[in-house]
Amino acid sequence: MLQTTVFDVQSIRKEFPILERKVNGHPLIYLDNAATSQTPKVVIEAIVDYYSRYNANIHRGVHSLSQEATDAYEQARQKIQEHFNAAQSYEIILTSGTTHAINLVANGFADLLQKGDEIIVSALEHHSNIVPWQMLCERTGADLKVIPMSEEGELDMTTYRELLNERTKLVFVNHVSNALGTINPVKEIITLAHDKGAAVLVDGAQATPHIKPDVQELDCDFYTCSAHKICGPTGVGMLYGKEAWLKKLPPYQGGGEMISEVTFEKTTYADLPHKFEAGTPNVCGVIAFGVALDFMNGLGLDRIAAYENELLAYATKRLTEIEGLRIYGPETNKASVISFNIDGIHPYDIGAIIDKLGIAVRTGHHCAQPIMDFYRIPGTVRASFAFYNTKEEIDIFVDAVKRAKTMLL
């Protein structure tokens, strides 16, 4: 029996202006939340307020606008620190997003790795958590090892234990798979890696809309996320790093803000976090990121997860009514993502047809080609649910998929 969570979704939906629009003459049903979430009015208003009242460059201005912008920017950093339970605010590095954050760490490890060292990636990764490490191996001569996945879309932890050895220097894994929704056992992965002296980076881009990570409890060395997955704006994200590791890594980019003193003979670098924040930052984006976290915490991440799990169970039940439909990934222990195909139909064709009915889903390999290669498929239809979606929307979505199947077969 499906459980019901007390969650005033209709009131919440009123906070998202885009949900009122129509697409191709039909009310928008937005089921592409794993790609980007929609933006509530409070975040939109924060962006307008910034540009209307105190738009200024930060940290180096004595005038009032600059000081107001600086205060709001650093208060947002503190909100992010508190949300993720980092020990210090300077362990929060503000970036343009998860991809930027991962590349920052990969670049830093180029000075720390040597030929014969090993780094480990999981088979469930987004390309942004594969390609930077491949580039790192090309630069350093280190070897890239892969934790394999099972047919059920879960990591083979037995093989992971076998891969770990004294040559392992770094392990990187996503908290939640963007393609399948798998929630990975990151706490166990981190503990096992630390037993061998290896550092661990967790890509939290897909986890943070559903889970409130405690980086101290996880004991991860690095954790990344993007604001646009958590009701914030695009172009901003964060890297959490343990203080000791951030002090060990060299700066990623040179320029203003990240320096202490500059002469033509020698430049010295700023302390954390500014050492990794060269150039003019996305001031407005960071402030809006903090507002988005306030919004999410106001709803409660536990309540959000419970309601989304209810939507996931309902959508899974409804979709499995369709003959020839296969869902990829685990049946349990997953976030609110469903990746599926229908026998004999290309996923793009399904996505194109239901778009004409106002329904937004993602089709393709979802920047996770190794997963698609594992299943020997070109891609999937991915429906990803957020706390502002409804069971009524799921019913319309399932009917649309049935209609697409009838048209295409």
Q: Which two tokens stand for residue 314?
A: 């309902």
More confident residue, 356 or 259: 356
CA angle 91, 95, 97 (to 5 degrees): 120
Give me the pLDDT at residue 129, please.
81
- Confidence at 2, pLDDT banded by 50, 70, 90: very low
First to last CA, the chain: 33
- Other beta carbons within 10 angstroms of residue 244's beta carbon come to 9
DSSP 88: -
What tens digit of pLDDT does each residue of 38-62 get? Answer: 999 999 999 999 999 999 999 988 9
What tens digit of pLDDT does each residue of 8-24 get? Answer: 999 999 999 999 999 99
Helix H or strand E segment including 360? strand 359-360
Q: Which fold has domain 9-39+300-408?
A: Aspartate Aminotransferase, domain 1 (3.90.1150)
Q: Where are the domains of the chain?
A: 9-39+300-408, 44-298
Q: Which two tokens stand for residue 215?
A: 């980086």
Q: What is the mean pLDDT of the chain?
A: 94
| Catalytic option among 225, 231, 284, 367 | 367
- Confidence at 279, pLDDT banded by 50, 70, 90: confident
Q: If you average pLDDT over residues 302-316, what whole number do you get? A: 97
The backbone torsions φ and ψ at residue 37, rounded to the nearest 5 degrees and listed phi first, read -85, 165
- Return the SS3 of 54: coil
Give me the pLDDT at residue 382, please.
96
What tens digit of pLDDT does each residue of 224-257 get? Answer: 999 999 999 999 999 999 999 999 998 887 776 7
The residues pairing with 93 across neighbouring beta strands, listed in sequence order, are 239
Instruction: Respond yes or no: is residue 367 known to be catalytic.
Output: yes
Helix H or strand E segment including 341? strand 337-342
Q: If you average pLDDT over residues 68-88, what whole number do you get? A: 97
Query: Whole-angstrom Cα distance, residue 216 to residue 96?
Result: 23
Give me the pLDDT at residue 334, please.
96
Handedness of CA 9, 11, 12, 13 (dihedral sign): positive
- The domain defined by 44-298 carries CATH number 3.40.640.10: yes
Residue by residue, DSSP assigns 92-119 as EEEESSHHHHHHHHHHHHTTT--TT-EE
Give me the pLDDT at residue 373, please.
84
Name the pTM for this structure: 0.94
